[in-house]
Structure 1
Amino acid sequence: MTLSDNDIRAVRAHAQLLGAPAADVVSVAESVAAIQAQSSPAARLAIRARSRGLTAPDVDASRAVARTWLMRKTLHLVPSADLQWLNRLFGPRNVQAGQGRRRQLDLTDELCERALLLLQDLLPGKALTRQWIVDGLAAGGIVLDAKSQAPAHLLAYAANRGLICRGQDDGTEPTYVLLDEWTTEDSAPDEPLMELAHRYLTAYGIATTEDFSAWSGLPLGLCREAFGALDLVPAGRGFALPETELSAPPCPPRLLGAFDTFLLGYRDRDLLLDPAEAKRVNSGGGMIAPTVLIDGKIAGTWHTKRTAKQTKVVIEPFATLSRSAISGLESEVDDYGRFLGEAAVVVI
């Protein structure tokens, strides 16, 4: 089937719920496969853009989703029911990939194993911040420099070993809980890699094996194997599942948060982001700025300026915006303010 670039953008945006928002937190997480969540505010905004009626506290309070280190060794938010099988798929790889850095931080295998035993005693029935965990480990004879990267890497190791995951934030501080206390569900598929590939294509509409590899961090050979096991149809710049609707209405204007999965889901982002503007979105160091989406394409960036009375959402478009786009963004800013419980106004 021949698809125009606009068709592909519309299909991808629709698959990401950016044109047909969901009603609850877990529906968003299920639909987009995984939400990058090393920044809690950014993860909340990813859900806001794909839902209607939710608030930031609704996202924070949901135990139907959970955060742990998965794709690309990065924190992701996923349905709690999928946490255990996804951890079994990515955990051993992440443990192996992090071994060199742990050695640099003097986190020996022996120390890490002792720490796991201590964490099993520290965490039952509790959600502890990193500092509380560092203090508890010190009381048990494992002293870590709280200002170094050692605590973060040790906690990631414990998560990838299947012991812990992130709990609810304590104010601005993340907490950590026992994985088995956060969820006892385990909807393990018979073929985890094939299931992940299916969920990826459901979430990203039209994509290549290279896109899947870039999103997941898995070797390209494995990604080709997974795509090869699925019944796929060629669709423009990649492949789609047979059930994918290869037509969709244009996506309304959306404000996407930092690290939004809509961009991170593809290796080749040229269809969504003009290469000439790429450095305005990704200036280096792995940072992906909050972006403005118009008709399924990145049309600018945005940031906020807060005062005691209101929040200004400052939009920096790449080109002059149409009246309809501005009207749509005004509605988005209103919803952004409602979501956060702030008075918000748009500045272009």
Structure 2
Amino acid sequence: MDQLLDSRRGTDRSRLRALRLRSHLLAPSTAHEPTVGAVAAHMLATQAQDLAGGAYALSLRHGSTTQRQPVVHALEHGELVRSWLMRGTLHLCQPQDLGWLVRLSAPRVAQSAATRRANQHITATVVDDAAAHVMDLFRREGRASRELIQSRWQEAGLDLHDGRGYALLQELSYRLLICQGPLIDPGSWSAGQYFVPVPDTATAGVEPADPLAELLFGYLRGHGPASLRDAAWYAGHPLGALRAAAKRLGDRIQSIGTHEGEPLYLRTEDNDARSDQPAGRYLLPPFDEYYISYADRSLVADGQAQASVGPGRNGMVKASWLRSGSVLGAAGPDGLAQWQAQHWMRYQQYRAPRQD
């Protein structure tokens, strides 16, 4: 019998949180992956519209939050890339996962953005023209900043008003022509990243036979236990499609309990029913996967904590305190316990400009 289920008590929430911490590589007993790239592969994709926050999320799971060089090195050497993936949101991932994730996600993003693109007068011809100029820059420079790319477009007479420049970068990313790579200034996250040609490993890699099922399996590896509704939110695909994908996975995944009436799933290989209790104290960066990547966040955050962390009206999700698997609320510099003060200082140092 599955020890996670008790007919008298229902599902043990603390054990579910303990399992989720393990999946996120945040359990104190979890052996850290040897490289940042391996962490990225384990997580499948890590939300990173806040670049420093996404980098910190990987470092946290790698066990290297006192230094950022592992992430900087991975970006510089093409072991880690950033692009618009699920739900049209920027994520960090390994290049070998970039191609199939973009091909899976881009059509739905394009469908939802069709009216906006039409209003921006962004046609296939406009995108072709923009692509030709960027490819020319890459042939001469190898890589290019956003400012250089948009300057070239302006010189060529492309209209970049009303968000068209940003939209064109997205469109070229969805065509698997460009992605974001090395930091422009290795000492500063805010300086941004160079755009580079999509690596051959992203376009020549083996395409999963069943991409949506592979996405679900990878999601559960780094995020389980989770419901199919959670997975549908993460993937940006209909719930019915995720239910069908779960059936195709068969006994590779299994339900290990429920939360708020929804069955929760793990990969079968991860369901060893260990009796770990949730432990560990962390500062989670903005948009951390442990909090954001679920349709229902109530397993790890009560209503007050969710109101504190977000998303707010502007869509922002704040950094937060995590203790024993529960999100306590938004992180800040005031009224800190000793453990919080240590994590807050480490996080601020990680984000601050420096000369490495």
**Matching residue's letter, 1:233:** Q
Secondary structure in structure 1 of the residue aligned to 2:331:
strand
The structure 2 residue matched to 1:298, chosen from 314, 319, 327, is 327
What residue ranges of structure 2 are gaps of 5+ in the alignment? 6-10, 186-190, 259-263
Asked if structure 2 preserves the Cα contact closer than 8 Å seen for 1:11 and 1:205, the reply is yes
TM-score (norm 2): 0.83
Superposition map of 1:49-198 within 5 A: 49-53=60-64, 55-62=67-74, 63-124=78-139, 125-145=141-161, 148-171=162-185, 172-180=191-199, 186-198=205-217
Change (3 A) 1:263 1:174: same
CA deviation map 1:85-115 (0-9, x unaligned): 1121112322332222122222233212222
The structure 1 residue matched to 2:56, chosen from 23, 30, 45, is 45
Equivalent pairs counted in the alignment come to 323
For the residues of structure 2 that align with 1:44 and 1:29, how far apart are their CA atoms? Answer: 10
The structure 2 residue matched to 1:278, chosen from 285, 291, 306, is 306
What residue ranges of structure 1 are gaps of 5+ in the alignment? 304-313, 318-325, 344-348
CA deviation map 1:4-33 (0-9, x unaligned): 100001100110001123332112111212
Change (3 A) 1:60 1:290: same
CA deviation map 1:12-70 (0-9, x unaligned): 01100011233321121112121101111111121122122362232123121111111
Change (3 A) 1:246 1:337: farther
Q: What is aligned with 1:208?
A: 227
**Matching residue's letter, 2:117:** R
Asked if structure 2 preserves the Cα contact closer than 8 Å seen for 1:15 and 1:204, the reply is yes
For the residues of structure 1 that align with 2:335 and 2:16, how far apart are their CA atoms? Answer: 25
Identity of paired residues, percent?
28
TM-score (norm 1): 0.85
TM-superposed CA distance for 1:161, in Å, is 1.1
For the residues of structure 2 that align with 1:103 and 1:315, how far apart are their CA atoms? Answer: 47
Asked if structure 1 preserves the Cα contact closer than 8 Å seen for 2:44 and 2:97, the reply is no
Structure 1 stretches of 4+ moved >4 Å: 181-185, 337-343
